[in-house]
Amino acid sequence: LIDSRAQENFINSDYIKKHHLLTFPLKQPIKLHYADRSSNPESTIETYINLQTQINNRQCDICILVTRLAKKTLILEIPFLEQFNPDINWK
């Protein structure tokens, strides 16, 4: 999912567990706030992953915060698109 309102890149914690991906602790936990400014005590983010991938034949390292996501595996923020400028086929 590409989300122009997202402040960070996020990956679903269930996906991390299912695929046994290596996570790293954040120096400072991040309390997640929703668009309506509410928060959930269970939504504190404490870990991240470093995802290495290729976009347009270019090696990319992406820092992604691990949290519980309803019905989504990955959320990419607009600054990600600006930085890596991937070719997207909108058809």
Pairwise pLDDT comparison (18 vs 60), residue with the higher score = 18
Angle value at C-alpha 48, between 47 and 49, nearest 5 degrees: 140
Q: Where are the domains of the chain?
A: 2-84
How far is the first Cα of the chain from the last one, in angstroms, to the nearest whole number? 16
CB atoms within 10 A of CB 66: 21
Q: Of 13, 14, 6, which Cα lies nearest the Cα of 76?
A: 6
> What is the pLDDT confidence band of residue 66, given thresholds at 50, 70 and 90?
very high
The 8-class DSSP code of residue 19 comes to H
The third-level CATH classification (topology) of the domain covering 2-84 is: Cathepsin D, subunit A; domain 1 (2.40.70)
**pLDDT at 16 exceeding the cut of 90:** yes
7 is written with which tokens? 């402040």
Over range 45-71, report the average pLDDT. 88
